[in-house]
Structures are given as C-alpha cells and as structure tokens.
Amino acid sequence: MQDNPDLKKNSENGGDKSGNNKKILMGILAFALISTFFMNFFMSAFSGGNMAEIEYSDFISLVEKDAVNAVEFESDRLIVYADASKTEIPKEISKIYNNGEVIFYTGIVGDLELVGTLKEHNVKFSRKVKNSSPVFDFFMSWIMPILFLYIAFSLIMHFAVKKLGGGGGIMGVGKSNAKVYMQKETGVTFKDVAGQGEAKESLQEIIDFLHNPDKYIKIGAKQPKGALLVGPPGTGKTLLAKAVAGEANVTFMSLSGSDFVEMFVGVGASRVRDLFKQASENAPCIIFIDEIDAIGKKRDGSANSNDEREQTLNQLLSEMDGFDSSKAIVILAATNRPDVLDKALLRPGRFDRRIIVEKPDLIGREDILKVHSKDVILGDDVDLKAIALATSGAAGADLANMVNEAALRAVRMGREKVLQEDLMEAVEVIIAGKEKKDRILSSKEKRIVAFHEVGHALASALQKNSQPVQKITIVPRTMGALGYTMQMPEEEKYLMTKDEIISEIVVLLAGRAAEEIVFDTVTTGASNDIERATKMGRSMVSQYGMSEKFDMMALESTENKYLDGRNVAICGENTVAALDEEVLKIIRECHQKAVSILKENRKALDEIAEYLYEKETITGEQFMDILKKVNGDEISQ
Ligand code: ADP
Ligand code: MG
Ligand code: ZN
C-alpha cells in the first residue's frame, strides 16, 4: 500500500565513507601498537630486565670467589645477585643497583652439589613460589587475550563486511550508518489519509510553515520544532508524517528509533549528528523519527540504564536545541508509548506538540475503507457502512488489510468483483482467523459447540440491551475458536452503561451455561469467554466505579493505554483481595442470570441448536425466525 518509488538508501558520498574506514583501521593499528608497547613495558618491569646471561661455570667460579650474595631458583634458570666490585661486568648490563649489586642469570644444569657449594660460601638462596605479581598475571591471562581477540575479531568483521558490500555491520563504529531514508517526494498527501481530522488540522500549521517560513520569521514567531504523533499501532502515524511532507512538498527523511541503537556506545549519537547535518543541507525538510520510544525512554539513572541510549537521547536533545529554527526543518516523531518518554523530550522547544492519532470512529472507518477500495472493483451489493459497523475497534491498518483479503478471496472464488460476502469473510478472518474446514469435530463435540454458540446468541437476543446477532457458525477457525457468534452493533457506542456491561457479561457466560443445562457437564471451550467476562467485571469495580462496595474509588490503572496495556493495582493488598471478591460476586450473578434465561427458553435453545448443528452456519435472520416461531410474538427485534 505504501510503495515508495523514489525511496533510495541515502548513501553518503563515497569518499567520506572510505575515509571513515581508513580512520577506523588506523585507530585499530595504533591501539594494537600501543598495547604491544605497554605489554613489553610491563613484562620488562616485572621480570626485572637488565640482566645478562653467564655460563654456569662462570657462575660457580663467582661463587667460589665469594662474589655472589644471593641466588634465586626459578623454574628454568637461576637469578644471580653478585657484588659488582668483585665481578667483571659485561657490557649488556647497564645498571648497578644501589647496594652495588649486578644481576645475572644462568641456566640450570642439574648440579647436585650446588646447594652444598652455596652453603659453603654463605650464599643466600631461595625459590620464590610465584614469579610475578597478581596484577600482572591477571593482565596477562585475561585482559590481553580479550583485547587480542577483540582486535582480531574487529578486523575480520571489518573486512568481511566490506567484502560483502554491506554498510554498517559490527564495525560501524563512529560511522553514521546509511540508514537514513531520504525521499524527495513521498507521493502521499492528506487525501490518502482518511479521517483523522484533528490530527490533520494540527499538522496544517506545520505545513504552512514549511511552505512559507518568512511569514513566521518576519513577525518574530518561533515555529514549533517538533510534533509527536501519538496513538495505537496501525492508526496511520507513519502515513500522516509522510503526508505532511507530501503536502508541504519537502524532502522527507525518516529513521526509526531502533536504527540509532547499536552495540557500540557513541554510534547512535553520531547518527543523530549526521541526520541533522544532512537535514540542514536538505532544508526545507521533515525529519521523521519513527518509534521514538526506542531512544527516548526516561533516563531513570538505574543501574541497568543504557549508556548508549542515553548518549543518543542527549545528542538528539542538543541537536534539537541547536539547529537554526529559521531553517525550515520540522521534526516529527511517532510513538505508541508516550508515557515512557523522557520529560526533556517533551518540553517546549522540542516535541512540545502532541498530536493524538486515535483509532477511527464509524465514519472514519468507512472513509478508510473507501480510500483503500478506490482501486478495487466492487460489486453492486457492497455496503462499506455495514463493514465499518462490524469492525469497531479496528485500526486503519486492519481495514486496509481487510480490503486486500477480500480482493484475494474474490480472486480465489474466480470472481471479477469483490462482493459483500468477501468483505464479511475478510472481517471474520481478521477477528477469528481463517476457516479450518479440515478440522473435524466429533458429532458430540459439534453438538456441544452448537449449543454453546446458541447459548451466547440467545442470551444476546433475549436481553433488551444486547446487540442482535449477525451470524452463528460452528465451523472451526484457525485462531482457536471452534465456533462463534458474530454480533452486529447498529451504531457506534462511546459510552456503555452499567446494565449494558452486565448484559454483555451474561452473554459471554451463556455459552458455558448452555453446556451445563443441556449436557450437565462443562468443557474447556469457554476459557476465552471467561477471561473476557472477568476482565469486564473487574474493570467495572476497579476502574469504572460501578460497585457499591468501592463506590468511585480507582483500584487499578492502565499502563500503555495505546498498546494492550495491562492493569496494575494502585491500592493495598487487602483491597485487592476485596476487589477479587467483588468481581466474583458479579460473575456469579451474571452466570445465574445466563442460566435462568436459557432455562426459560429451553425450547428455543434446543431447536436453534439442532438447526445450527445441521447447517453449521446460520444467519441472524434464520436465528430470529426460529426464535419468533417458538416464542410467539413475545420477542420482537
Ligand atoms: P502506524 O505508523 O500508526 O503504526 P501506519 O501509518 O504505518 O501506522 O499505517 C499502516 C497502514 O494502515 C498505512 O500504510 C495505511 O495503508 C493504513 N492506514 C492507517 N490509517 C489510515 C488512514 N487513516 N487512512 C488510510 N489508510 C490508513
Ligand atoms: Mg508506524
Ligand atoms: Zn463462547
């Protein structure tokens, strides 16, 4: 859907790049040389250089001349401390120690009388347990090999990566990787973004500034440097950013937050620097940092905080402060986790504008469907509004996907047009997964599933507040559902009353209730129903203030509300226990209610379930027909 014909990897000019490589190579060589030098220095310092080798026989004669003060036995040689005044000093020896000693060494010849000779001439002798200091040992056995490996590995990677023609690789140290995407024209305009009226309005000013910076500069107004697009995944944040560039007709440079983060400290920061440098060369332009939470997380100073990320963030902050605001560069960023962003990013002069990109409402969904079906040949029976109604909660990306799925299905069916049934099937695929015709249920299981699903549907139809059913099926789906009841809202709802939530919980629990009543047994097939019902019941108590016990007290708050955030308790432990009890009470009541509704309508339950068992899929109308026939005119929907 978003093919980018002009998209090109913006490789920096080649000379610069190879220059960088050379620098790195030089750096490594210098490092190797220096470390070798240090190693030798340490070696000589610790093993006390400045010694000359002498023959063993010379050594013995020195002992016999009483010129030797002490002898130290080493594993492979003897160190001889001799009196300089009584010794001829060979020219290799440049140093005479303070006490007038010179040091020689000589090989070991297995002289059995040596000890005796030494004793005779009063020479001190000893054997050191260890020949070197622990620091030196540690250095030699740990640091050196690691350094060596690091250098070797780096060099190998460097040349391997270069040979493969890849850019960054592990040796991207200090080099800004060519991951900046520069597009002269995005080819996307606001026309391609359906709905999102408010977001577009907020962005309009930015577009105007990019068109016409002088107007703002003249009057002395400072333009917002950056805007943050916030919203759930798939709602069109990236699309909107591109559309802004398209509308303003400026260069679009985009980079994802994770592109900055690499193994080596300092890479991200240098990428940020580079990005801004390129941007100022290409002004007017838009810099778009997607998924900014990857680098913009709060710096919490905890032990496991990530230095690299912080450096990158700091660089970003200082670049944002530093660049010339008259240069017509606007920075957009997108995230679905605004709550984790560092405060410093959000302060005035940085991403001070927050543009909320919400999931589309009914009209928005219809518009998005229209935009994406523009190039699709639709049959006459297609009613996009009905599809929009059935897809409450879907984001733009889901809807775009649905239209495509429908088109694919039409092709599979050998049709030349997309019909409503293709679209409906696509909706179901997105909601419940593909039909799985090859999964054969035993007839007993199939019967249980039929009663379970009809239980849901009946509870829904019989409670005034519930939505009528659209379709019931017991054909298994890939996402685990053995059957399901598709409900069809008649209008978009933004608020739910307490009664509506209760009746929805009853509907969820009615599947299992039907199994209990009819088969006097329970199965594992209700786990998802139970989970959802419990969640709703819990929210009633903990967040919506709908229980008597806790009145309007908040017991839980939602984290990451743009992702499927989890609820965290914000109350004491005892209160959590009481909350659980309260939820259980709601669930019990709803369960009872489901059972009694179905018991009262046992005849309808049996008839519809048998019919469903036979047909496998029935429509909402067929369902209502049987219900009316059984119940007379009592029920009118
Ligand atoms: P986000 O960045 O918010 O996760 P994207 O901008 O990448 O989402 O959207 C993904 C796709 O979904 C887009 O390429 C587009 O096809 C479709 N889409 C999302 N929102 C809209 C919209 N409002 N209008 C038209 N298409 C949309
Ligand atoms: Mg995106
Ligand atoms: Zn169920």
What pLDDT digit, counting tens, does each position of 507-542 carry? Answer: 999 999 999 999 998 888 888 899 999 999 999 999
Asked whether the predicted pLDDT for residue 211 surpasses 70, the reply is yes
The pLDDT of 5-11, averaged and rounded, is: 37
Highest mean pLDDT out of 29-43, 248-262, 382-396: 382-396
> What's the confidence (pLDDT) of residue 88?
77
> What's the confidence (pLDDT) of residue 28?
67
Residue 453 annotated among the catalytic residues of the structure = yes
Ligand 1: centre distance to CA 397 (Å): 5
Same domain for 114 and 244: no
Q: Which ligand is nearest to the CA of 527?
A: 3
Residue closest by Cα to atom 27 of ligand 1: 396
**pLDDT, averaged across the chain:** 80
> Given pLDDT bands bounded at 50, 70 and 90, which one contains residue 160?
low
> What's the confidence (pLDDT) of residue 559?
78
Ligand 2: centre distance to CA 333 (Å): 10
> What's the confidence (pLDDT) of residue 607?
94
> What's the confidence (pLDDT) of residue 7?
35
Least confident of 137-151, 469-483, 598-612: 469-483
Same domain for 409 and 464: no
Q: Which ligand is nearest to the CA of 404?
A: 1
Higher pLDDT, 522 or 140: 522
Asked whether the predicted pLDDT for residue 173 surpasses 70, the reply is no
> Given pLDDT bands bounded at 50, 70 and 90, which one contains residue 217?
confident
Indicate whether 256 belongs to any domain.
yes
Asked whether the predicted pLDDT for residue 630 surpasses 50, the reply is yes
Same domain for 22 and 60: no
Q: What percent of the chain has pLDDT over 70?
A: 80
> Given pLDDT bands bounded at 50, 70 and 90, which one contains residue 489?
low
Same domain for 500 and 378: no
Indicate whether 437 belongs to any domain.
no
139/620 Cα distance (integer angstroms): 79
- The catalytic position among 101, 308, 405, 453 is 453
Q: Which ligand is nearest to the CA of 514?
A: 3
Two tokens, residue 66: 């009483």
Q: 79 near 71, Cβ under 8 Å?
A: yes
> What's the confidence (pLDDT) of residue 336?
87
The pLDDT of 251-269, averaged and rounded, is: 76
383/420 Cα distance (integer angstroms): 7
Ligand 1: centre distance to CA 244 (Å): 14
> What's the confidence (pLDDT) of residue 174?
42
Residues with CB under 6 A from ligand 1: 1-2, 193-196, 233-239, 334, 368, 371, 396-397, 400
Indicate whether 168 belongs to any domain.
no
Residue closest by Cα to atom 15 of ligand 1: 397
Indicate whether 436 belongs to any domain.
no
213/207 Cα distance (integer angstroms): 10
Q: Which residues form the domain of 338?
A: 179-356
Same domain for 464 and 392: no
The pLDDT of 576-593, averaged and rounded, is: 95
Give the DSSP H/E element, type plus range, for residue 486. Answer: strand 484-487
> What's the confidence (pLDDT) of residue 450?
93
> Given pLDDT bands bounded at 50, 70 and 90, which one contains residue 325?
low
The pLDDT of 234-243, averaged and rounded, is: 90
Decide the pairing of beta strands 329-335 and 285-290: parallel
Task: Give the SS3 label for residue 51.
Answer: coil
Burial 437-465 (b: 16+ CB within 10 A, else e): eeeebeeeebbbbbbbbbbbbbbbbbbee
Contacts of 218 by beta carbon, 8 Å cutoff, 6+ apart: none
Alpha helices in 169-212 (DSSP H): 197-211
> What's the confidence (pLDDT) of residue 465?
54
> What's the confidence (pLDDT) of residue 575?
92
Same domain for 603 and 456: yes
> What's the confidence (pLDDT) of residue 278?
84
Indicate whether 112 belongs to any domain.
yes
Q: What percent of the chain has pLDDT over 90?
A: 24
Same domain for 302 and 407: no
Higher pLDDT, 4 or 185: 185
Give the nearest ligand 1 atom to 290 CA. Answer: 2
Residue closest by Cα to atom 7 of ligand 1: 238
448/519 Cα distance (integer angstroms): 8
> What's the confidence (pLDDT) of residue 585?
96
Indicate whether 636 belongs to any domain.
no
Same domain for 545 and 507: yes
> What's the confidence (pLDDT) of residue 6?
37
Same domain for 183 and 139: no
Give the nearest ligand 1 atom to 242 CA. Answer: 6
Contacts of 23 by beta carbon, 8 Å cutoff, 6+ apart: 174
Asked whether the predicted pLDDT for residue 8 surpasses 50, the reply is no
Distances (CA, A) of 508 to 460, 502, 503: 9, 10, 9
> Given pLDDT bands bounded at 50, 70 and 90, which one contains residue 265?
low
Two tokens, residue 178: 């060519």
Same domain for 576 and 611: yes
For residue 130, give the DSSP letter: -
Q: Which ligand is nearest to the CA of 2?
A: 1
Ligand 2: centre distance to CA 498 (Å): 36
> What's the confidence (pLDDT) of residue 20?
54
> What's the confidence (pLDDT) of residue 180?
61
574/174 Cα distance (integer angstroms): 54
Place of tokens 């944002």: 320
| Domain of residue 537, CATH code | 1.20.58.760
Same domain for 113 and 194: no
* Residue among 239, 337, 404 to mutate when testing ligand 1 (max atoms within 8 A of CB): 239
Boundary (domain end) residue, out of 356, 380, 399: 356
Ligand 3: centre distance to CA 626 (Å): 21
Two tokens, residue 636: 């009118």
Place of tokens 């139809």: 461
Residue closest by Cα to atom 25 of ligand 1: 193
Q: 227 near 330, Cβ under 8 Å?
A: yes
The pLDDT of 97-124, averaged and rounded, is: 83
Asked whether the predicted pLDDT for residue 165 surpasses 50, the reply is no
Give the nearest ligand 1 atom to 194 CA. Answer: 24
Same domain for 608 and 530: yes
Indicate whether 246 belongs to any domain.
yes
Counting the structural domains of the chain, the total is 5
Ligand 3: centre distance to CA 517 (Å): 15
The pLDDT of 212-230, averaged and rounded, is: 82
> Which strands form 52-53's sheet, in the order they lie side by side?
52-53, 101-107, 77-83, 68-73, 124-127
Over residues 441-487, the pLDDT tens digits come to: 778 888 999 999 999 999 988 886 555 677 888 887 766 667 777 77
